[in-house]
Amino acid sequence: MRQEHAEQIKNVMQALKAKGEVNEVYFVACGGSQAVLMAGQYIFDRESNVPSHVYTANEFVYDTPKNLCADSLVISCSHSGNTPETIAATKLAREKGAMTVALSNLVGSELWEAAEYPVHYDWGKDVSDSDKNKGILYGLIFNLLKVLAPNEKWDVCLQELEKLTELSEEAKAQYAEQAKDWAKAQKRDPIIYTIGSGINYGEAYSTAMCWFMEMQWINSGCIHSGEYFHGPFEITDYDVPFMLVKSIGNTRHLDQRVEDFATKFTDKLLVLDQKDLHLDTVAPEAKQYIAAILSGVVIRLFIEAIAFERGHSLDVRRYMWQMEY
């Protein structure tokens, strides 16, 4: 992690220590940024006794949780730093006296100014993955947990984040051919569902909402692995495509059940098994976190491949950037 980012996170930690108590952590953002924050909520929920929630920003603004107060910690995120709902939510939280931390790619953006503790992340090629949005979020979370749920494993996890760039490159090389083959086979499909659980649910969510629906105009829906058998699985048929992220974490059993069933009834099940990632060099306590980030890298490969096959650039929008809404 770059010095600048490390210092910004250090500021958060110092403020948190001074604050002492946190009644609730609110993760607040929109769309893809909300999806990224979901992993933060997951880790808090499983690793600490501090309750935490994820909100889409405008619901947080218009229908504010009663427990939001000066004891709360609000973590928001917007890549551009100009998402109006997220700015409004951060301002509201700060007015209520909550501690506000905002992640953004743009220093000095309106979100940056709205939050008491802004944290920057890098973007683009030739930057370290540990300094991009997910690397920085996980770095922030592990540091917060050092204060709120002390455990020596957080230092190990922080160290392992430094391997992200190398591991990402390796994962991309590993999946490059499969991504192309999948894209060729699926390019005419009018709908592709995504499935995931636990820490990976956010990745499944953003794949459906942002990659497929927003950037490819392919119909989609996100299904939690634990919910698949309680409704959604009846849609399964030989020609219905699914993309399943199979966890190496505690929810693996849920994903396995989906795979075992769906394999029998659709010819179009793509399983992205985190067990196939090369994580030998990663400390055991960090594996599931690193894997969750790498799954996002792998999915992106598949999306870029299908975008190419369909001749549909990931940069095309028909509403966003084209009009006011």
With CB under 8 A as the contact rule, the residue among 1, 5, 12, 32 that binds a second copy is: 32
Q: Is 266 in the site for a second copy (CB under 8 A)?
A: no
Of 56 and 165, nearer to a second copy (C-beta) is 56
What is the DSSP code string of 130-148? GGSHHHHHHHHHHHHHHHH
Q: Which DSSP letter does residue 50 get?
A: S
Q: Are strands 117-120 and 99-104 parallel, antiparallel or unpaired?
A: parallel
Per-residue interface string for the shown chain with a second copy, residues 126-165, x marking contact by CB under 8 A: -----------------------x----------------
Rounded-to-integer distance, Cα 112 and Cα 194, Å: 33
**Shortest distance (Å) from residue 67 CB to a second copy:** 5
With CB under 8 A as the contact rule, the residue among 116, 189, 227, 259 that binds a second copy is: 227
Of 51 and 283, nearer to a second copy (C-beta) is 51
- The SS3 of residue 114 is helix
Of 84 and 185, nearer to a second copy (C-beta) is 84
With CB under 8 A as the contact rule, the residue among 137, 164, 210, 294 that binds a second copy is: 210
> Containing H/E element for 34?
helix 31-47
With CB under 8 A as the contact rule, the residue among 221, 308, 309, 312 that binds a second copy is: 221
**Shortest distance (Å) from residue 6 CB to a second copy:** 27
- From residue 82, how far is each of 8, 91, 268 by CA, in Å? 20, 13, 39
Answer for the pair 124, 85: CB distance below 8 angstroms, yes or no. no
Q: Interface with a second copy by CB under 8 A: which range of 98-106, 270-278, 297-305, 314-322?
A: 314-322
> Containing H/E element for 92?
helix 84-95
Does the CA dihedral 165-208-246-259 come out positive or negative?
A: negative
With CB under 8 A as the contact rule, the residue among 11, 58, 178, 266 that binds a second copy is: 58
Q: Is 300 in the site for a second copy (CB under 8 A)?
A: no
- Output the CA angle 241-287-291, nearest 5 degrees: 25
Q: Is 40 in the site for a second copy (CB under 8 A)?
A: no
Rounded-to-integer distance, Cα 38 and Cα 219, Å: 22
Q: Is 94 in the site for a second copy (CB under 8 A)?
A: no
Rounded-to-integer distance, Cα 314 and Cα 311, Å: 9
Q: Interface with a second copy by CB under 8 A: which range of 6-14, 100-108, 229-237, 296-304?
A: 229-237
Q: Which DSSP letter does residue 211 get?
A: I
Answer for the pair 76, 111: CB distance below 8 angstroms, yes or no. yes
Q: Is 63 in the site for a second copy (CB under 8 A)?
A: yes
Of 175 and 193, nearer to a second copy (C-beta) is 193
Per-residue interface string for the shown chain with a second copy, residues 169-208, x marking contact by CB under 8 A: ---------------------xx-----xx-------x-x
Report the amino acid identity of residue 79: H
The structure tokens listed for 294 are 């790498």
Q: Is 124 in the site for a second copy (CB under 8 A)?
A: no
Q: Is 224 in the site for a second copy (CB under 8 A)?
A: yes
Rounded-to-integer distance, Cα 28 and Cα 158, Å: 23
- Which chain residues interact with a second copy by CB under 8 A? 23-24, 30-32, 34, 45-49, 51, 53, 56-59, 62-67, 83, 85, 149, 190-191, 197-198, 206, 208-210, 213-215, 217, 219-224, 226-227, 229-237, 249-251, 253-254, 257, 261, 265, 317-320, 325
